[in-house]
Amino acid sequence: MKNKELIVVIPVYNEQDIIATVIKKWTKLLSDLDINYELRIYNDGSKDNTLEVLYDLESKYSEVKIFDKANSGHGPTILKGYKDSLDAEWIFQIDSDDEIDVTYFPELWNKRIKYDFLIGRRINRNTPKIRKLISLISRLSITMFYGSKVYDVNCPYRLMRVSAVKSFIPKIPDNTLAPNLIIAGMVSKKNLAVFQTEVRFKFRTTGEVSIKRLKLIKFSIKSFWQTIAFRL
């Protein structure tokens, strides 16, 4: 059986109100682009009716595959998705909250031939100051320890050529809280061909932010150490 041209990795946690809309948007777009694809949806131990909604969608769309798992957090969940998908030609990661629209994807896909790593750069993010500070520290940390080819180092809108990243993704520990930081860093370190484009950030109207203020600070400190430790 021929390997998939594209696998889309989507982590989901408590998104019963929006996930059906997100999946329908992506299946329509990717089918319209005539891509041999699969949507791999990882339910990270949702406590609402997300899983029931997902199984219903899986029964309706042959390209949708649902993976139910115990809660481990956003980072370990997407990392599992990446490691499960290294037999594809390309991996694309998007979050389940519909904060970045599908409309930016065709540009990335159409430019993929010349690049190994194509990523969004979020604009108009009216986020709390603590999150802005953490984003700044993340970018500076990656620049200091890995290099500066990627600006929005943790953006969850990234298209990766598997042959370019499969040498280091399997080496990232399964419990890594922010694997996207490490991947952005390794892209710089290995001097991969990078394309970046502005993507407009929409504010979520459903669900909830899974990491609150104090937990976010603790999470960030640990993820910084993990990111630096991987490089060293």
Contact 90, 131 (CB under 8 A): no
pLDDT of residue 137: 80
Read off the pLDDT of residues 108-119 as tens digits, 9 standing for 90 and up: 999 999 999 999
User: For residue 222, what pLDDT band results from cuts at 50, 70 and 90?
Assistant: confident
pLDDT per residue as tens digits for the range 26-56: 999 999 999 999 999 999 999 999 999 999 9
Residue 74 confidence (pLDDT) above 70: yes
Q: Tokens standing for 118?
A: 């194509």
Q: What is the pLDDT of residue 215?
A: 73
Look-up: residue for tokens 């599908």? 102
Distances (CA, A) of 98 to 8, 56, 102, 110: 14, 19, 8, 22
Give the pTM: 0.91
Mean pLDDT of 168-192: 97
**pLDDT band per the 50, 70, 90 thresholds, residue 124:** confident
**pLDDT for 203:** 63
Alpha helices (H) in 34-193, listed in sequence order: 50-60, 74-84, 105-110, 129-145, 162-165, 179-189
Tens digits of residue pLDDT in 187-212: 999 999 999 999 998 765 655 555 55
Average pLDDT over residues 8-35: 97
DSSP conformation class of 64: E
**Mean pLDDT confidence for 3-27:** 96
What percentage of residues in the chain have a pLDDT greater than 70? 91
